């Protein structure tokens, strides 16, 4: 397998950063523009808790943390959480909300690649939720995550599959018809097929331990796990 080190410090899509910064004031409105993210967050947390046997006192890195929804939920499970993002306005929102709720999270303005250069192998758990499809080179992020986690540690990637069904549900229905997320949130061509993500992971020291589909129904407002990975899916990896 080719495990050549690829660390790209400039792996940033500034249009994507700006796009999310412009809607950052809505981040913590549970019935607003990020409603699906709030609904699916407990499902992601349950998956991480199950695969890691809990987060108590574990050192966790949340890559692409945005306004801190997932970071805060892990910190509430007594994890020592660091959140990374390139959106300064997003991090401001995250820090303010953490102050309001009394949750301790260390938020850092940095790319994961730059962070990996200085913090190799220090995290028990690394999470990267809905971020890979927003960067120019997703493999660079995957590789950096593999460098940041300890041996016997866990890494989680959540992203969107690229097919006709995901285009219909994640773009046409969610953005244009139901308008449950802001239009322009997703670029279907940047979605990542599970087979493509597996090939990226194979080029690192990580090994895939599990994969599950995550489904949100906007009509019933319910989320559930599924054996189908046609739209959203989450991958659990371990470093041996």
- In the block, which residue shows the tokens 């219909």? 168
User: Are 85 and 91 a contacting pair, CB within 8 Å?
Assistant: yes
In terms of Cα–Cα distance, which of 65, 60, 62, 61 is closest to 17? 65
- In the block, which residue shows the tokens 């692409």? 64
Tokens of 40: 């699916």
Q: Is 66 one of the annotated binding-site residues? A: no
Q: What distance in Å separates the CA atoms of residue 132 and residue 118, rounded to the nearest whole number?
A: 21
Beta bridge partners of 237: 155, 208
Q: Which helix (H) or strand (E) holds 82?
A: strand 80-85
How does DSSP classify residue 21?
H
In terms of Cα–Cα distance, which of 29, 35, 19, 27 is closest to 178? 35
How does DSSP classify residue 181?
S
Q: What distance in Å separates the CA atoms of residue 95 and residue 55, rounded to the nearest whole number?
A: 21
Q: Is 129 one of the annotated binding-site residues? A: yes
Torsion angle of alpha carbons 116, 117, 123, 126, nearest 10°? 0
Q: Is 64 one of the annotated binding-site residues? A: yes
Dihedral of CA 70/75/81/83: which sign? positive
Q: Which residues are annotated as a binding site for S-adenosyl-L-methionine?
A: 44, 64, 85, 129
Q: Which residues are annotated as a binding site?
A: 44, 64, 85, 129
């Amino acid at each position: 397998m080719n495990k050549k080190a690829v660390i790209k410090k400039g792996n940033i899509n500034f249009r994507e950063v700006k796009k999310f910064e412009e809607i950052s004031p809505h981040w913590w409105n549970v019935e607003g523009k990020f409603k699906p993210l709030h609904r699916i967050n407990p499902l992601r947390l349950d998956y991480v808790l199950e695969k890691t046997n809990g987060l108590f006192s574990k050192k966790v890195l949340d890559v692409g943390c945005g306004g801190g929804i997932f970071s805060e939920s892990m910190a509430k499970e007594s994890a020592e959480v660091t959140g990374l993002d390139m959106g300064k306005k997003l991090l401001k929102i995250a820090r303010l909300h953490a102050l309001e709720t009394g949750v301790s999270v260390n938020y850092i303005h940095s790319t994961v690649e730059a962070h990996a250069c200085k913090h190799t192998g220090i995290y028990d758990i690394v999470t990267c939720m809905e971020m890979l499809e927003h960067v120019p080179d997703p493999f660079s992020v995957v590789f950096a995550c593999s460098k940041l986690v300890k041996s016997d540690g866990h890494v989680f990637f959540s992203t969107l599959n690229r097919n006709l069904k995901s285009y219909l549900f994640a773009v046409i229905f969610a953005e244009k018809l139901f308008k449950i997320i802001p239009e322009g949130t997703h670029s279907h061509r940047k979605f990542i097929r599970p087979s493509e993500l597996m090939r990226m992971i194979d080029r690192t020291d990580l090994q895939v331990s599990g994969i599950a589909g995550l489904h949100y129904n906007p009509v019933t407002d319910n989320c559930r796990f599924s054996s189908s990975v046609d739209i959203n899916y989450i991958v659990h990896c371990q470093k041996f």
